[in-house]
Each structure stands twice: as C-alpha cells, then as structure tokens.
C-alpha cells in the first residue's frame, strides 16, 4: 500500500493549518485546499496546495482529481469550510434573497459532492481492504440548538442551513457505509451542555485541539458516534 494521503478542504490558519500539520506528523502526505492557496509557502512546508472553490461543483471535482493524481486517493478527507451571508435586515431571515441562500446552500451540497468523490477513492484498489477511511466535517451546534435559544441568532441563518444539511448527510452516510469501515463524522467543539461554547472566542484558538481530535477519529480502530461532540479539555462530550 502506498503512503497514506489526506485532503483538507478549507485550510485556514486555525483548524485547517493545525490538522494538516498533525496528519503530516503522523506520516500522511497532505493536500490542503483553499480558494487561493499560498503555493510557494505550502510546498516549502511539504504540502500539496490545491485551489478549490466550494461554491463550484466543477472546482470540487477538479480538486479531487488533482489530489488523486499527485498523492493517490486520500484515506482522510476533512471538510473545514463554512460561510455566513449577512441578512439585509438583521434578525430577519426572510430578507435574504433566494439567490443568496442558493449560493450559501451550495457550500453544504459540496459536502455531498466531496463525500461522493472521497467514497470513490475510499473504495479504490489503492486502499484495498486495509485500514479505516474517514470523512470529517467541522461542525457547530446550530443544527440542534433551538432558533430562539441563548447563544443562537437569526443572523446565523445561512450558516445554520449549511450545517443542518451537513449534519444530516453525515448521519445518513455513517449509517450506510460503516460496514465498509468507512467513517463519516460531524465533529463539533461544544460547551459543557453539549450545545454552543460558553465563550465563542475559544473556537478561534482551538486549532490544536481540533487537530488532535481529528487525528484520533481518523486513526482509531472503530467508528465512534457520527455526531461527535468534544469539549475544551479534548474529551468526548456525553449526556451522562
């Protein structure tokens, strides 16, 4: 079997950067995707830069084609992208245009497409029957937090729709493909209640924590809960 490969879609300076470094340290060859990758810098650091626009299906397909050609089919794919469209009238979701919502929903549909592309690689002869194959979406608590709950806001409407779709996709795919040792996760850093963080600012410095959790999910021998929630101490959150 060739050296393991990983593809991170959305390689910003927080979660994407630290996850790429953690996977590389574990021996993965890592492709990092963003709209305008810093090619020279990334190549010096040992990564494969990939231009990808998650609003475009053609761009997502081309990105996977590049990764497959340069590294082989990845056994780990991390979808670490989220966008937020401001509401024309704050607090009023129905002031958002249909066109704007369609564009933002395209990000969630790219989760579907990325999973579809990843699955083809997971099932390829390059991986055979050995080792887990893992697809992780960076989540948030919006899908299960009431719209009028403290810490939520109508202004997050487009992001809420994105994450709600991704959340459901991960549930469906996890149920369908687990028997093939193919794992799908919606992984979310949560507060003590299992909902939104008490201090949202903690999310923006959580890259190393996310990286540790993601590497653990990608390399553990068994599938864990597809709706995987973890807290600031790095432990899996539980209702009990």
Please, are residues 136 and 78 in contact by the beta-carbon 8 Å criterion?
yes
Chain segment 10-59, per-residue pLDDT in tens: 988 899 999 999 999 999 999 999 999 999 999 999 999 999 999 999 99
Helix (H) or strand (E) holding 230: strand 227-230
Q: Which residue ranges of the chain lie beneath pLDDT 70?
A: 1-2, 128-130, 240
Compute the distance between CA of residue 209 and CA of residue 13 in angstroms, rounded to an integer. 13
- pLDDT score, position 1: 47
Domains and CATH numbers, the chain: 5-230 (3.40.50.720)
Euclidean distance between CA atoms 119 and 177, whole angstroms: 9
Report the distance separating Cα 20 and Cα 77, nearest Å. Answer: 11
Predicted pLDDT of residue 2: 62
pTM: 0.95
On whether the CB atoms of residues 31 and 48 are closer than 8 A, the answer is yes
């Amino acid at each position: 079997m060739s050296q393991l490969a990983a593809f991170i879609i959305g390689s910003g300076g927080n979660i994407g950067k630290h996850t790429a470094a953690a996977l590389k340290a574990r021996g993965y060859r890592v492709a990092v995707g963003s709209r305008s990758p810093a090619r020279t810098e990334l190549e010096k650091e040992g990564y494969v830069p990939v231009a990808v626009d998650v609003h475009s299906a053609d761009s997502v397909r081309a990105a996977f084609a590049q990764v497959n050609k340069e590294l082989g089919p990845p056994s780990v794919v991390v979808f670490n992208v989220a966008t937020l469209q401001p509401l024309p009238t704050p607090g009023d979701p129905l002031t958002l245009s249909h066109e704007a919502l369609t564009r933002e929903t395209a990000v969630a549909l790219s989760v579907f497409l990325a999973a579809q592309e990843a699955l083809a690689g997971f099932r390829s002869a390059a991986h055979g029957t050995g080792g887990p194959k893992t697809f992780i979406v960076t989540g948030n608590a919006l899908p299960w937090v009431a719209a009028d709950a403290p810490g939520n806001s109508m202004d997050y409407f487009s992001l809420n729709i994105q994450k709600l779709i991704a959340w459901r996709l991960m549930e469906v795919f996890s149920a369908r493909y687990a028997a093939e040792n193919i794992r799908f996760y919606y992984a979310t850093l949560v507060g003590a209640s299992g909902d939104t963080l008490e201090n949202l600012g903690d999310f923006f410095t959580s890259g190393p924590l996310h990286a540790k959790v993601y590497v653990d999910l990608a390399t553990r021998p068994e599938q864990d809960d597809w709706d995987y929630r973890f807290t600031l101490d790095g432990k899996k959150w539980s209702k009990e």
